[in-house]
Amino acid sequence: MAGRESSRYLSRALPRAAAPSIRPQGFLLRRNVSDEAPARRLSDHLTDLESTSSFSTPVAASAASSFDPLARAAARKTKLPRGRYQFRSPKYDRGPLHPHQPPPESHPSSRLFVPGPFSSPRAEQSYESTVAPDIMTLCYVHTPPGFKPPPKAPRLREWDDSSPYHKNRVLRGPRGGDVLRLLRKPIKFNNIPEIERITIHSYVKNAAAENSTWLHVAGIAVQAISNMRVETFKSKSSVATWGIHPGRDTVAVKAELFGENMYHFLGKLVDVVLPRIKDWEGVKGSSGDSSGNITFGLEPESVALFPEIEVNYDMYPPKMIPGCHITLHTSAKTDKDARLLLSAMGLPFYGKIVN
């Protein structure tokens, strides 16, 4: 949503005392030309003001005596309906200009609210107590006082003004490729790499050629191992040999794990599932997108080793358990740092390490 501010017109037009909102209305400072007629002057505004304060006018005695909310509640025979005691979020988001706005997602009354976290996963605890301080110590680079790093060349190269056409031209990318890598800052206490999210993605090629059972099974399997409801995706590219057309066939499921779920999944994966894979050497050292995200794949037989699938393995149709790709997104800026973090979390790497 782009603008979540409520309308400045409607907030003036409608009396809001009847429906108290959770969010405080912003103080509106902006004036518009159309708000005031041009003929009106300052003196006219002054005449609108009352000369006496409202505090000085006496309140009618009947009004004061009749206001007794406690007695009114006691006199009530039946309870009010539940909705009168509880704020309920609107069912629909009707846009930023609607006077009835849903509460923010983090508010418990919001329809999008997800409670939690409820536990402190073992992997998270070991990260906080052991891994993070270790990485900070390992990555410490001592510079003597008064040390100034040599100036680096600019990341985007300028054009030498050999031609008059170089004027106002956009800067050139780095040498040896157009990719501008992420900038790695020295690792300090406030930017220790951590795992941000884990994506479990499964591309089911048979979903297009045969029937949707494959996709349902894949979705349930991924949901079982990840504790998350999956999203489905349509194919973007055409694969003629599998009969997949872009935009027509739903072929993939994905679950994104954050926070508590993510650490539970990581602990389970590292401690229980990966050691049981036959002849598994580890994650390939050349994997990674060179900006700190590492991906590896699991075969269908390996996915079947998860305790959640193993416990009712017979419920899954035979041969339909999918393989999946697991991407570990870290906040590290290079693959080297990401590997350092993940190997400290217990993920082995093998082969040629490419950073």
Partner 1 sequence: MKSSYCADKIHGAYIIWDNFSACIASTSRLLFLQRLHPPPPRSTSSLCQLTAHTNMSMHTSLRRTAATITTSTTTILPSRLPQSSTTFICSQCRHATLLRRPKRPYTFTQLITLSDGSTFTHRTTSPAPIYRSTRDTRNSVLWNPSSSKLMNVEDDEAGRLAAFRAKFGRSYDSAAPPADENSADAKKEAAEAKAAQAEEDNMLDLISSFGKRAPPPPPEKKNPYKK
Q: Which residues bind partner 1 (CB under 8 A)?
A: 2-3, 31-33, 38, 89-95, 97, 102, 110-112, 114, 118-119, 121-122, 223-225, 227-229, 260-261, 264, 267-268, 270-272, 275-276, 280-282, 307-308, 311, 346, 348
Q: How far is CA 231 from the centre of its chain?
A: 14
Distance CA 307, CA 222 (A): 12
**126-146 burial, b for 16+ CB within 10 Å, e for fewer?**
bbeeebbeebbeebeeeeeee
Residue 299 CB neighbour total at 10 angstroms: 15
Dihedrals phi, psi of 189, to nearest 5 degrees? -65, -25
User: Shortest gap between Cβ of 58 and partner 1 (angstroms)?
Assistant: 42
User: Shortest gap between Cβ of 277 and partner 1 (angstroms)?
Assistant: 9
What secondary structure does DSSP assign to 130-163, as a single string? IIHHHHHHHT-----TT--PPPPPPSSBPPPTTS
User: Shortest gap between Cβ of 90 and partner 1 (angstroms)?
Assistant: 8
User: Shortest gap between Cβ of 121 and partner 1 (angstroms)?
Assistant: 6
| Nearer to partner 1 among residue 35 and residue 158 (C-beta) | 35
| Nearer to partner 1 among residue 223 and residue 331 (C-beta) | 223
User: Shortest gap between Cβ of 257 and partner 1 (angstroms)?
Assistant: 12
User: Shortest gap between Cβ of 350 and partner 1 (angstroms)?
Assistant: 9
| Nearer to partner 1 among residue 100 and residue 184 (C-beta) | 100
Structure tokens at 37: 């007629």
- The DSSP secondary-structure symbol of 270 reads I
Distance CA 18, CA 141 (A): 61
| Nearer to partner 1 among residue 89 and residue 293 (C-beta) | 89
**157-196 burial, b for 16+ CB within 10 Å, e for fewer?**
eeeeeeeeeeeeeeeeeeeeeeeeeeeeeebeeebbbbbe
| Nearer to partner 1 among residue 67 and residue 92 (C-beta) | 92
| Nearer to partner 1 among residue 244 and residue 266 (C-beta) | 266
